[in-house]
Each structure stands twice: as C-alpha cells, then as structure tokens.
Structure 1
C-alpha cells in the first residue's frame, strides 16, 4: 500500500476573513468548495497551484466561538523562494508570531490563531 498526503484541516470562525488572509499572506486559492444543503457547514479547499496538497478550511454554522487550539504545538509549514521579502510582507501584515533566527525560520498566525511555519526554499 502507498499513502499520499491529501489535505490538512483547520476549522475557522470567519471563512471569508480566513480566505482573504490565506490569499494575501500565502497566495493560496480556493480550488474547490462544498456547502451543506442545509447550510450547516462550508468546506473550502485551498491550493498552492503547484502541488495536489490542499488546506481544508471548515466553517461550521453552529460553532460561533473560538476554537481551542491547545498549546499550539501543531502547525502547517510552507517553503518560500524569497524568504526576506516574505518576512517583510508578513511583518507589515502584523501576522509574524515567532521568529527563530537561529533556525532561519519564522511563524505567522492566521485569524483563528493557527501557526504557519515559513521555511526558506534552500537551507
């Protein structure tokens, strides 16, 4: 048997705010969407246009409160070809939450508090 990564899920409180953030911060676009017939949920799958991996954003109608992210020890990681420009962009957006200069990486957080690691393409 062979397993291949398919997607990762983040539950979000404000789908439009999250879609805007992921487009502006990381250039991720909606590649498909599923809406429940009864309006109880919306799934938006975001892609990078290069790989088949997607980030699934799940909005649940009956969950208006913030999600408990525990100790935030999990994260999504993306590589970037221009690390310095990316860092400056995210600093200007105010979403850099941790800069690990010793490791040459930094983290941003999305509107719901999920951490996203930014790694230079070549280390």
Structure 2
C-alpha cells in the first residue's frame, strides 16, 4: 500500500479575494470546482506539479477562521526570488522575513502563511 499527496485545504471567507490573491501572488490557477448551495470547493494548481490547493468556501460561515498560532504553512519554491520578493512587497503581503535563512513568508487574505524559498540550483 502506498499513499501519495493529493491536495492541501484552506477554508476561506471571501473566495473571490482568495482566488485573485493566489493567482497574482503565486500564479496558481483554478483547475476544477465543485459547488453546492452549502459550499464551494475550488482546486488550484501551479501547472507544473500535480499537487493542488483546495480552497473551501462555506455559505453559512460569517466569522473569520481561527488559525491558532499559525504554526503550519505551505511552501513554494521560486526561480526568481528577487522578482517574487518585489511583487510580494508591492502587494503588501510579506508578513515575516528570515534574511539569514534566505526565506520569507506571505499571508493570504485569511491570514494563512505561505513560505517562499528560492529554487536550489
């Protein structure tokens, strides 16, 4: 028996704002969608790897999500670290930088942290 990664999930308060953020900040695009009266699931992909990010919007959810101490995150490698950093700085979404490690984090509209790591050469 072998298990393989399928996707990660983030619940979001404003689906349109989240979709716009993930496309602009990380180039993720909608791969598929499943909608009912109660919820909408949108799967995002990077167009390179099979891994997907599932955004879940719940129709009856009014309050913000409690992310605890936000000690979990997704990590993304980028081939042009300087250009990515400039984009994210312009967007105002950088929430933490560790210059000694050469990484930084951005926060999405719901406060989820996303780690940006330069691609290894």
Q: Alpha-carbon deviation of 1:14?
A: 0.2
Indicate the residue corresponding to 2:52 in structure 1. Answer: 54
Instruction: Using the TM superposition, give the Cα deviation of residue 122 of structure 1 relative to its aligned residue in structure 2, in angstroms.
Output: 1.2
Q: Helix, strand or coil: the match of 2:2?
A: coil
SS in 1 for 2:120: coil
Deviation at 1:55, TM superposition (A): 0.2
Alignment of 1:57-96 (within 5 A): 57-96=55-94
CA apart distance, 1:16 = 0.3
RMSD: 0.8
Q: Distance in 2 between matches of 1:64 and 1:30?
A: 24
Unmatched runs of 5 consecutive residues or more in structure 1: none
1:119 corresponds in structure 2 to: 117
Q: State the aligned residue count.
A: 121
Partners of 2:22 and 2:62 lie apart in 1 by 20
Match of 1:107 in 2: 105
Q: Whole-Å Cα distance in 1 between the matches of residues 82 and 21 of structure 2?
A: 19
**1:64, CA displacement in angstroms?**
1.4
Deviation >6 Å, runs of 4+ = none
Determine whether 1:19 maps to 2:19.
yes
Distance (Å, rounded) in 2 between the aligned partners of 1:66 and 1:117: 22
- Residues in 2 aligned to 1:109 and 1:45: alpha-carbon distance in whole angstroms: 19
Q: What is the CA-CA distance between 1:3 and the residue it aligns to?
A: 1.2
SS of equivalent to 1:66: coil
Aligned to 1:31: 31
